[in-house]
Structure 1
Amino acid sequence: MKFSIDHKSPVPLHIQAENLLRTMINDPEHLNGKFLPNEVELAKQLAISRSTLRQALNKLVYEGLLIRKKGIGTKVAEPVISSKSKNWLSFTQEMNARGINVKNFELHVTWVAPDEKTANFFGIDPGKKILKLERLRGKVEGPFVYFISYFHPRVGLTGEEDFKRPLYDILEKDHLVVATLSKEEVGAIAADKFIAAKLEVEVGSPILFRKRFVFDQGDRPIEYNLGYYRADSFVYTVESVRE
């Protein structure tokens, strides 16, 4: 695709370059992580200086529309997956509502002795084993989240359930346990070797880390969930209403 800039226009050159870049971003040729032409070629094509072009590029990098890799080039950022704290659903239900087909890359069920923090949350003896569910999930193109869930023995999970179904659908329909309240803590961590391998990122890469404490209708704890999300593929949004 050929682009040009009107050097006689009163619109500043860097603004024109920015608008052209926005057009390029939406062109099928450059979607889904494709690299843009290098700065030298693009600046030459547009007949502007590299500093003018870089000013436009920096604006779109700041907005998260482009990703610049030193020594490699600039590419279009892939759309991130969004999760909201309001209207809380299971992960599968939330992704389906956004038209995203969820793929399970790994699914492991084990019985483990809880650590002190988990045992205290559930109010159980640390020696009593609980069900641990691990799931590596994402889109067809690759995984973007790794979940670890622990469940209170009272819930009644056996480990034989079909965990490809929505989790809270299983709890409600199979075990008559309704998840009604979620308390969450969200932060950022650096990926260790284990998480980096799961999410296919470099060790030390930024990871969105979320703890979720889930309660039933009687405010009794039923699940303790840890979620590790690829920062380049996921954004967590919070809606607040002032009353």
Structure 2
Amino acid sequence: MIDKKSPMPLYFQIEEAIKQKIEKGEWITGTMISSEREFAENYEVSRMTVRQAINNLVNDGYLTRQKGKGTFVSAKKIEQKLLGLTSFTEDMRSRGYRPASKLISFQTISANQRLAKALEIPENQKIYEIKRVRLANDIPMAFETTFVPAQLLYLQESHIKEGSLYSEVENAGFKIDYATQSLEASIARDAESEILEITKGAPVLLIERQTFLTNGMPLELVHSVYRGDRYKFMIDMKR
């Protein structure tokens, strides 16, 4: 129960009570929680207080709303440690998930000034633009747009559909060396929310990665939108 004399806000106490049930395994993934009205009656608080607690837990990824059905306990977030350079496919397999990709579009375009600079090629040179939804156990995790210099290797749509881009690159005799990556928080726009099956305005992680080969040439520039309710990145730090 909650303590109305505590300096802790009531909505925060309700959040913590729900979190404990989830973290202790009392409420497993897929459990439908009580309605706002039932929570309000149980805790003797206003529905607005309950709504704030539920909204915060949805934003933090503990709960998910299904329109017309109710609010449910979310699946545990996938954790990725920022220690080594791996492909999405390799990372999901190492965690016991079944990776897959849904190809949205594959085309050859002319590099604009920004892309040409990032890929260290002349402006207007041909590059591959690959848009994919990355899935784990059939759940959309990320919407990814990849740019690769067409002069580097020959790619077909089947190569992208059937396997990892990194595998194709390494099979062509290239060695991948390192990448620089940036992360920032954002919210899902219309197209992203539809593709990732989340509500518009839901929290997402924006990631941009520039990957280099051992000969110093840029291999790719990747823009990714990761679901904030399904994915989190971890890093170990030593002093």
Bucket of the pairwise TM-score, normalised by the shorter protein: 0.7 to 0.9
Distance in 1 (alpha carbons) for counterparts of 2:170 and 2:35: 54
Amino acid at match of 1:88: L
Query: Structure 1 residues 58, 206: closer, same or farther in 2, change over 3 A?
Result: closer
> Is the counterpart of residue 22 in structure 1 residue 18 in structure 2?
no
Confirm or deny: 8 A CA contact 2:59 2:229 kept in the other structure: no
Deviations 1:109-167 (A, max 9, x none): 21011222110112222211111111112134431211111112342133255223222
Amino acid at match of 1:116: Q
Question: In the TM superposition, what are the counterparts of 1:44-193 in structure 2 within 5 Å?
Answer: 49-50=43-44, 61=57, 64=60, 66-67=62-63, 75-160=72-157, 162-163=159-160, 164-173=162-171, 175-193=172-190
User: Match for residue 10 of structure 2?
Assistant: none
Structure 2 residue matching 1:204: 3-state secondary structure: coil
Deviations 1:76-108 (A, max 9, x none): 232111222102211100000000101323353
Distance in 1 (alpha carbons) for counterparts of 2:58 and 2:193: 25
Structure 2 residue matching 1:207: 3-state secondary structure: strand
Aligned length: 219
Give TM-score, length-normalised by structure 1.
0.74
Structure 2 spans left out of the alignment, 5+ residues:
2-12
Distance in 2 (alpha carbons) for counterparts of 1:208 and 1:108: 22
Distance in 1 (alpha carbons) for counterparts of 2:221 and 2:94: 24
Amino acid at match of 1:22: K
Confirm or deny: 8 A CA contact 2:184 2:205 kept in the other structure: yes
> Is the counterpart of residue 197 in structure 1 residue 194 in structure 2?
yes
Deviations 1:158-214 (A, max 9, x none): 3255223222121111x1111110100101222222212211222232221100000
Give TM-score, length-normalised by structure 2.
0.75
Query: Structure 1 residues 122, 62: closer, same or farther in 2, change over 3 A?
Result: closer
Q: 1:216 offset after TM fit, Å? A: 0.8
Distance in 2 (alpha carbons) for counterparts of 1:236 and 1:62: 18
Confirm or deny: 8 A CA contact 1:132 1:149 kept in the other structure: yes
Matched residues, percent identical? 19
Structure 1 spans left out of the alignment, 5+ residues:
6-13
Confirm or deny: 8 A CA contact 1:92 1:166 kept in the other structure: yes
Amino acid at match of 1:96: R
Amino acid at match of 1:167: L
Q: 1:61 offset after TM fit, Å? A: 4.0
> Is the counterpart of residue 31 in structure 1 residue 28 in structure 2?
yes
TM-align CA RMSD: 3.5
Distance in 1 (alpha carbons) for counterparts of 2:201 and 2:94: 32
Confirm or deny: 8 A CA contact 2:205 2:226 kept in the other structure: yes
Structure 2 residue matching 1:169: 3-state secondary structure: helix
Amino acid at match of 2:80: S
Most deviating of 135-144 and 180-189: 135-144
Distance in 2 (alpha carbons) for counterparts of 1:140 and 1:68: 18
220, 223, 234: which one pairs with 2:220?
223
Larger Rg: 1
User: Match for residue 10 of structure 1?
Assistant: none
Structure 2 residue matching 1:155: 3-state secondary structure: coil
User: Match for residue 7 of structure 2?
Assistant: none
Query: Structure 1 residues 85, 196: closer, same or farther in 2, change over 3 A?
Result: same
